[in-house]
Amino acid sequence: MPSWVHADGWRRRTFAGPAAFTGPPWSAVSAVVVRESGEFAGDCGLTPQRVDGVDEIEVGYHIRADLQGNGYATEAAAACRDFARDVLGVRRLIAIIDPANAPSQRVAVKIGLEREKTATVLGGERVVHAGAL
């Protein structure tokens, strides 16, 4: 497991901009690097989310377009799942996914998060995958 960083500031700059950011005060996002080369491949991490009025922990992942299809997201997300369970004591993990994003839903299923429902979250209709840890 790579070192973990509190990346709230990074998320503010990268995804939303300070004025638009309304999320929780923390998230734990780590760089994903190619083991053999050390090359930056993307990010993966855990973020609190409120879905249908319930506080949840979400696993999220992004892999560079030119490195997709190598199993990196699955490996990183599985490591985050294990970290959430074994270190943080999280008992339920979700993934919030655009309905059109088949690769992301496949990654969620591969780490044990089955499709549970749709919900209006993160500004639109999303598929929520979930699993007990």
Tell me which residues touch ligand COA (CB under 6 A).
60-63, 68-74, 97, 101-104, 106-107
The one-letter code for the residue type at 130 is A
DSSP class of 88: S
- Non-local (6+) Cβ contacts of 126 within 8 A are 96, 97, 98, 99, 118, 119, 120
Question: Beta-strand (E) ranges in the chain?
Answer: 5-6, 28-33, 40-51, 54-63, 92-97, 114-121, 124-132
Nearer to ligand COA, 28 or 63 (CB): 63
Nearer to ligand COA, 47 or 104 (CB): 104
Nearer to ligand COA, 78 or 90 (CB): 78
Minimum distance of ligand COA from residue 6's CB (angstroms): 20
Minimum distance of ligand COA from residue 23's CB (angstroms): 15
Minimum distance of ligand COA from residue 83's CB (angstroms): 17
